[in-house]
A and B are shown apart, each in its own frame.
Chain A
Amino acid sequence: MAACSVEQLLAKAEAEEAEKLNSITVKKELDLEFDIGNLLAFDKNRVEVAVFRQQKKDEFLLALARDNTQLLINEIWKQPTERVEEAIVAKLPDPVTPLPREKPPPKAKPPTKWEQFAKLKGIQKKKKTNLVWDETAKEWRRRWGYKRVNDGTKEWLIEVPETADPNEDQFAKRVKAKKERVAKNEFNRLKNIARAQKGKAPGLGLTPKAQQSKDELARAVSVAKSSTASVGRFQDRLPKEKPPKNTGKKRKFEPLIGNFSNEKQKQLELLQVMDSKKPKMDITKAVNKQMREEDREEAAAKYKKGAGKRGRKGNMPGKGKGKGGKGKGGKGRAGGGGGKGRAGGGGGGGKKRSKPGKK
C-alpha cells in the first residue's frame, strides 16, 4: 500500500542517514569538555586500569586518541566558516580556559603636561599628512625630515632685521636657537617621564632658557660650581664674588701656622672642657641628629611593610641572592598577609622604592 511504502521510504532514509553519521559518531559515557578557541578537548571518562594494562598500550592510546579527535573535529566543524582566498576557514571563538599572563598588565600612564592641557581645552589630535606640496620645487615634499619643505638650514640669505646688531652672526643665531629649542624639548620630555615615575628631575634654571631670572641664574651658577671633584673648592671666583657657604663634604681645616693667639685660645678652651667633667654636647646638633634618625627609621619601616606584603610568598628555598632583590624582600619574610595583590613585579625598578605599596 502507499502508506507502507512511504513508511518504508522514511525508514530507509533514516537508516541511510544513520549509516552516514556512523562513521563520525563516537559513543562516550561523559561528553568531552571543549575549548575551541584553544583547539582543546578534555575527556573525563574513566578507563579501567586493569583493562588498560591488558592491552597493548600504543594501540589503546591510538584508539582513544582517534575517538577524542573525532569528537573535537565534529565540534570544530560546527563553527561558522567562510572562504578566504581559496581556503575554507572556520572562525574560532575566544579561548575559554584561563591561563596566566606573561607579564602584569600595563599601568596607566599619567597624562603629560600637554595632554592635560589638551583635555582641558578640548583640543583633538589632528592627523597631518606626511607630504606637503612645495611650490618652489613643484613637487610633494615631506613635512619634516630629509628634503623637507621649509628647511631653514638650507637658506643662504638671511635678512638682518632692523633691531638687530649688524655685526651679529644671524646664521649662528639660528643654530643656537635650534639647539636651545631641542634642549628645552628634551628637558620637558624628561620632566614628563619624571612626573610619571614621580622621580627627580633636574631643577629649574639648569637648562638654558630664553629669559632667565636672577635667582635661576644664581642657582645654575652654584650648581655648576659645586659639580666638580672637590665639590667647588678650587673654582676660580669673580673679583667681588663671595666664597660659597657649604663646599660639600670636604672638611675644612685651620691653617697650620697662622693665627697664634687663636690657636692659644683654642687649646686653653680644650683644656678647660677636659677639666670640667661636664658632657660637651651641642644641643641643636643632637636634636637634629635624633630627628633624622627617627625619620629614617620610619621610612625604613614603611618600606619594609610595603615590600613584605608585596613579596612573593612562594615556597622558594632560595639562597636569597635574588636578582630582583630590590623589592623582593618576600623571600626571607614569612609572607605577609594576603598581599595587596601587587606582584613581585613591583620590585622591578628601584625608582619605585619611594612609594611602596601605594600606586
Chain B
Amino acid sequence: IFTLDHLVNVRVLRSKRFLESRAPKLTENVKTAMIMKGGNTSQTVTQALKDIYSLKKPNAVLYKKKNITRPFEDSTSLEFFSKKSDCSLFLFGSHNKKRPNNLIFGRLFDFHVLDMIELGIEKYVSLSEIKTSKCPEGTKPMLVFAGEAFDVDNDLKRLKSLLLDFFRGPTVPAVRLAGLEHILHFTALDGKIYMRSYRCLLKKSGCRTPRIELEEIGPSFDFVMRRTHLASDDLYKLAHRQPKALKPKKKKNISHDAFGTKFGRVHMQKQDLSKLQTRKMKGLRKRKGGVDSTEDESGDQKTTGNHK
C-alpha cells in the first residue's frame, strides 16, 4: 500500500484497514484534535485543556507531557505529531509572562499548518466549579455564534470557521430530537469573545416545538484574541476543494422558477398530426352520399365551447 511517504508491504488485513482509514478519502473521517501543553503551563491552562478535552471526547487526544516548542515560530513538531496521530486539529496551551494563559487553536491541511489563532484566557470557570449534571460524552453540540463582529472582521470570520470545525463533531444524517442537549454559545462583543456552554431543557409549550430553558454546565471562557497565523487565500481555497464525485448530480430537464414551482421538460417524438386522435365528430366523417357537411359543423361548434 502506498502511504504518504513510502510503499508499505502489508501482510495483515487489519493493518491494511488501518492504513486505508488514514489515507485520503472522498468523505473524510471526523476531525480529531490533539491537545498539548507548552514549555510552561499554569493551573488555569491545564484545567482548561482538560475541560476542552472532555468536550471533544472521543475525537481528541490529550498529551500529558510538556512540549518545548513555539507553534508560531516553528510548527514542525506539531506537523510531526499530527502525522503520527492522524489529527488535523490542535490545541496548544502555554503560559508565560508576556502571554499569560494562552491557548492556540489550530488546524492542519495535509499535515501542514493551515490556520492558527491564539486566544488569551481572561476569565475561566471550569467544569468542576459549576456543580450541575453534565451532558453525556459525545453528544453533538448545537453551536451559536452571536455578534456581527463574526461577520465583519476577517480574523473573527476565520475564528468562527475554526471553532465550528473544532467543536462540531461527526456529520450525521439525522439527530434524535430528545438528545439535543448541549449548546455552545460564542459571543463576540467589546473586543472579547465569550464562550459559554449550556445544557438545554426542552419544556412543554402549547405546540409541538418545545420551549427552551438553559442551564449553564460547562466551562465558560472569556477570550481575547492575540496573534493569528491565517492561511493564504489560495491555500485556503485549495483546502476547500471537494472531489467531483461528491458534488450532487444535477437532474436534467428539471428547473425551478422564482416562486419555487418545479418545472419539467418532456421531449416528444415527432407526431403525425393527421393521425392525431381528436374528439369524434360524426358529422365530419365521410358519408357514402357525399353530403355537404357545413350544417353539421356549425352544430358541432356549439358544443366545443363548453368542454375543457
Contacts and interface: CB of A to CB of B under 8 A. Distances in A.
A261 B6 CA distance: 57
A359 to B, nearest CB: 14
B235 A43 contact: no
Contact of B176 (A37, A61, A88, A103): A88
Interface stretch (A122-130, A287-295, A299-307, A316-324): A316-324
Contacts of A42: 144-146, 150-151, 160
B76 to A, nearest CB: 5
A76 B180 contact: yes
Contacts of B6: 349
A44 interface: yes
Contacts of A95: 171
A265 interface: no
B24 A343 contact: no
A47 B4 contact: no
A15 interface: no
Contacts of A92: 172-175
A345 B110 contact: yes
A100 B109 contact: yes
A52 interface: yes
A43 B174 contact: no
Given A37-B171, A66-B212, A314-B232, A24 B164 contact: no
Contact of B187 (A19, A53, A64, A105): A64
Contact of B4 (A24, A70, A106, A348): A348
Interface string B172-197: 11111110100101010110001010
Contacts, number: 252
Interface stretch (A165-173, A230-238, A334-342): A334-342
* A contact residues, range: 35 or more
Interface string B233-245: 0111011111100
B271 interface: no
B237 to A, nearest CB: 8
Contacts of A321: 74, 76
A193 interface: yes
Contact of A69 (B142, B229, B241): B142
Given A38-B143, A106-B243, A87 B164 contact: no
A65 B198 contact: yes
A246 interface: no
A86 B224 CA distance: 45
Interface string B137-151: 000111111111011
A40 interface: yes
Nearest to B31: A102
B5 A348 contact: yes
B232 A65 contact: no
Q: Residue among A62, A101, A102 with the most chain B CB within 10 A?
A: A102
B51 interface: no
Contacts of B108: 102
B252 interface: no
A273 to B, nearest CB: 51
A43 B168 CA distance: 17
A39 B170 CA distance: 11
Interface centre among B80, B144, B229 (most CB of A within 10 A): B144
A81 B174 CA distance: 9
Interface stretch (B53-61, B201-209, B255-263): B201-209
A24 B109 contact: no
Contact of B180 (A19, A73, A314, A335): A73
Contacts of A19: 206
10 A-B pairs with the lowest CB-CB distances in the bound complex, closest first: A20-B206, A100-B239, A105-B243, A345-B110, A103-B24, A65-B185, A43-B146, A102-B88, A23-B205, A77-B209
Interface of A: 19-21, 23-24, 37-47, 49, 52-53, 57-58, 61-62, 64-66, 68-70, 72-74, 76-77, 81-82, 84, 87-92, 95, 97-106, 193, 196-197, 312-319, 321-324, 335, 338-339, 341, 343-345, 348-350
Given A65-B198, A193-B2, A196-B2, 13 more contacts: A37-B171, A41-B142, A42-B144, A43-B146, A61-B187, A65-B144, A65-B214, A69-B212, A72-B142, A92-B175, A314-B235, A324-B79, A348-B110
